[in-house]
Structure 1
Amino acid sequence: MSAPAFRAHWSLDPDVHYLNHGAYGACPTAVLQVQSELRARLEAGPVRFFVRQYERLLDEARATLAAFLEAGAEDLAFVSNATSGVNAVLRSLRFSPSDELLTTDHEYNASRNALDWVASRTGAQVVTAKLPWPAPTPAAVVEAVLSRVTPRTRLFLVDHITSQTALVLPIRELVQALRERGVETLVDGAHGPGQVPLSLQALGAGYYTGNCHKWLCAPKGAAFLYVRKDLQADLKPLTVSHGHNSPRTDRSRYRLDFDWTGTDDPTPALCVPHALRFMEGLLPGGWPAVMADNRAKVLAARRLLCERLGVQPHCPEEMVGSLATVALPDGFPSPPPPPFFLDPLQDRLLFEHHFEVPIIAWPRPPQRHLRLSAQLYNTHTEYQLLAETLEALLR
């Protein structure tokens, strides 16, 4: 099946070259149809659905996701997004003024804010490891992180794949090295599942939270939190509800707490198995083929844009998944103050040239780069047109 044929499975605006799947994902229409059917089923009998059917449906969805992630189903809980997962962990753990909380200078802003807030309330110190840039290597990343570990380090918060710079970090090496030093790792895997192969059991991290609405293409509001069994007793969801004093003994307290935090729309989580199966069926090789196809596509796009703009790639190919960044040379409109104002170039690319692609100030203005995404519905022609457009704007 060609990329234009894949595009028919999504309801994306046909007049826009959507090269920003990494921002919020995009859910196939077939999965959205399943969600609509589940919502209709819920509204036809809310009590019947929540009291008599919901738990079984949630267990089935969790089991399917656990098999995909190579994790124990009993160690997974559904949350609304990865930021909620990060907050649940950070706000459950107890820290003291003598503790150090380690992270990197590439950490996602929302998660870093949660870390800073928790530290401010407990007196703990946030320590930031500066990663090598603009020419990182996996070994150099590990060295930079370990150089900041001390006997006071309690927790390491790290992106699996960085949002601003699209680096696939050496998570397994980091987790192992930190555990050898008595430090647990909280992995912010917002972009991980579906972009790179992932085995949570093999990884061994204490905590891993990831989105299902991005590269797994589930509806918005579907994400998960994995907690290693020996750490589950200390974890609570952001909303403490009926599970806290439930007399049930057939489920762990971790499951009872996270599975019901109040009435909301559970259909995004229940659609995860449908999204997994749908995406797996798009290529003969299943999920490994989907990830390999997207990676090859974004690497080719990165090479093309770097060549046309006369810049060097930021990182080795081994640190690239389905996202890649390309440095912008001087000559484009000046960016506004960071971090939450749209770059004028990003607006111009959309409104004048019909490209939805993010422009990110990194590490600080006026330095900027463009972040490319690759999903099955994207075509090489789109990246060629983007390169030609950027060349013309630069001139």
Structure 2
Amino acid sequence: MLDPAIAFLNHGSFGACPRPVLDAQSRFREQMEREPVRFFTRELEPLLDGVLSALAAFLGADPEELALVPNATAGVNTVLRSLELGPGDELLTTDHAYNACRNALDDAARRAGARVVVAPVPFPVKTADEVIEAVLRATSPRTRFALIDHVTSPTGLVLPVAPVVAALSRRGVEVLVDGAHAPGMVPLDVHALGAAYYTGNCHKWMCAPKGAAFLHVERSRRHRIRPLVISHGANATRQDRSRFRLEFDWTGTFDPTPFLCIPEAIRFMASLGPGGGGWSALMKHNRAMAMAARAIMATKLGCALPCPEEMLGALAALPLPPRRDAVEEGALIDPLQTALLETYGVEVPIVPWPAPSGRLVRISAQIYNQQQEYERLIDALERLLRGAGSSESVRSQ
């Protein structure tokens, strides 16, 4: 349903839901509204069981270790709210962490009298080993917990999460992987990864409706993790389901249709894999498109590639000339991003990195994108950046 007049190169922010998946959502909503009591009390539980089975098969996970949450940020908050932290504990993350999740980490540390330690990961970066070394240098005997991105939001890096998780686990550090972008973008086997916790979105690269995500909790830790909303499951006496399932599957009245569409999103997107190759071919296609667009953009903009190809999926960020003035305080969107959309019909994020003067352009590649859309972006950037270094001059274009 994307506007055909817009070159939509920002799939990474909120995804885009295909029509067949939206049609499935409409059918579930009709089923829900036709008889709400029957739907919520008799039909929903087996429907969610089917969702978890399909999702677990896609992720390489055990359905009993999965909980459905509205977004990865909620998954991060769920874990942090459940942990028993104390004064002097250190919570580790990197300077590429998603802002919302960093705020959640700061809040958890404040409430417990703990401290957040930030590992500076270089960008530009030459090898994945630099990431591992940066994270391990920042650990100490007090490091209790680490929040590590699988795919970084501002810089689009695919971090070496498997060796990072293994190295931190050997030091007794529990790891929560923020995989907001990973499912559907990069191959993923959650069980093999071995992290204590993993959260990811289904509404980004899997293309489910907005508000569909999951939290994976390693089985031995399920008794410690509780939903953000405590509801009827807290004192349920049923013996046929785990306490984890009873608490997470029902937290009050909500619209479950984004979750119920996950199997259809998995099926439909697999059908788009070039050559009938399913998800593997789809991910390879999107990655190749992002790599090709990045190479052309770097040449046209005269900038060096900031990371090796093996550290990228279907997102890629490139540096732009630094700003000459700060973005207006409280502004959510860079004026250059606004000009790209309003003047040239290109939707792409301009990321402040490093803030406040640095900035990146971050492109996404999904199966609906075409090469001419990236060429349109390049032409627009060349026009806007030619003598337009300040926000005022960008606005005047």
Fold shared by both chains (TM-score > 0.5): yes
Equivalent position amino acid for 2:370 in 1: T
Q: Which residue of 1 aligns with 2:24?
A: 34
Q: C-alpha separation between the residues in 2 aligned to 1:369 and 1:339?
A: 19
Tell me which of 376, 379, 394 is aligned to 1:388: 379
Name 1:44's counterpart in structure 2.
34
Q: How does 1:221-370 map to 2 (within 5 A)?
A: 221-283=211-273, 284-330=276-322, 334=325, 336-337=327-328, 340-370=331-361
Residue 266 of structure 1 deviates from its aligned partner by 0.4
- Post-superposition CA distance 1:263-287 (Å, at most 9, x none): 0000000000000000001121000
Structure 1 residues 285-316: Cα deviation after superposition (integer angstroms, max 9, x where no partner): 00001100000000000001100000011111
> Is 1:186 equivalent to 2:171 in the alignment?
no
2:68 aligns to what?
A: 78
Contact 1:338 1:361 in 2 (8 A): no
TM-score by length of 1: 0.95
Per the TM alignment, residue 335 of structure 1 is displaced from its structure 2 partner at its CA by 5.1
CA RMSD of aligned residues (A): 1.2
Task: Tell me what 1:95 maps to.
Answer: 85
C-alpha distance in 2 between matches for 1:342 and 1:223: 25
CA distance in 1, matches of 2:209, 2:324: 35
Query: 2-side partners of 1:35 and 1:340: how far apart?
Result: 34
User: How far apart are residue 339 of structure 1 and its match?
Assistant: 7.0
Q: d(CA) in 2 for partners of 1:135 and 1:171?
A: 16
Q: Distance in 1 between matches of 2:252 and 2:110?
A: 29
Contact 1:335–1:344 at 8 Å: present in 2 too? no
Deviates more, 1:247-256 or 1:17-26: 247-256
> How far does residue 365 in structure 1 lie from its aligned partner after superposition?
2.5
Task: State the shift of 1:50 in Å.
Answer: 0.9
Determine what percentage of the aligned residue pairs are the same residue.
57
What is the CA-CA distance between 1:387 and the residue it aligns to? 1.1
Secondary structure of the corresponding residue to residue 15 of structure 1: coil
What one-letter code is carried by the residue in structure 2 that aligns with 1:345? Answer: L
* 1:167 counterpart SS class: coil
Separation of aligned partners in 2, 1:229 and 1:340:
42
CA displacement at 1:249 relative to structure 2 = 1.4
Secondary structure of the 2:110 match is helix
What TM-score, normalized to structure 2? 0.95
- Cα offset for 1:333? 7.5
Amino acid at match of 1:272: I
- 2:370 is aligned to 379
CA deviation after TM superposition for structure 1 residue 119, in Å:
0.6
Measure, in 1, the Cα distance between the counterparts of 2:324 and 2:20: 40
CA positional deviation for 1:394: 2.5
Q: Map 1:2-81; keep pairs closer than 5 Å.
A: 11-81=1-71
SS in 1 for 2:151: coil
Shift of 1:334: 4.6
2:123 is the counterpart of 1:133: yes
Q: Distance in 1 between matches of 2:90 and 2:324?
A: 40
> SS at the partner of 2:310?
helix
Question: Residue 385 of structure 1: CA displacement?
Answer: 1.8
Runs of 5+ unmatched residues, structure 1: 1-10
- Cα distance in 1 for partners of 2:28, 2:352 equals 41
Match of 1:4 in 2: none
Contact 1:335/1:343 (8 A) holds in 2: no
- The one-letter code of the counterpart of 1:13 is D
Q: Is the 8 A contact 1:81 1:211 kept in 2?
A: yes
How has the CA–CA distance of structure 1 residues 361 and 339 changed in structure 2, closer, same or farther, with 3 Å as cutoff? farther
1:167 aligns with 2:157: yes
Does 1:204 find its partner at 2:194? yes
Q: Distance in 2 between matches of 1:258 and 1:341?
A: 33
- Runs (4+) of structure 1 exceeding 4 A deviation are 332-335, 337-340
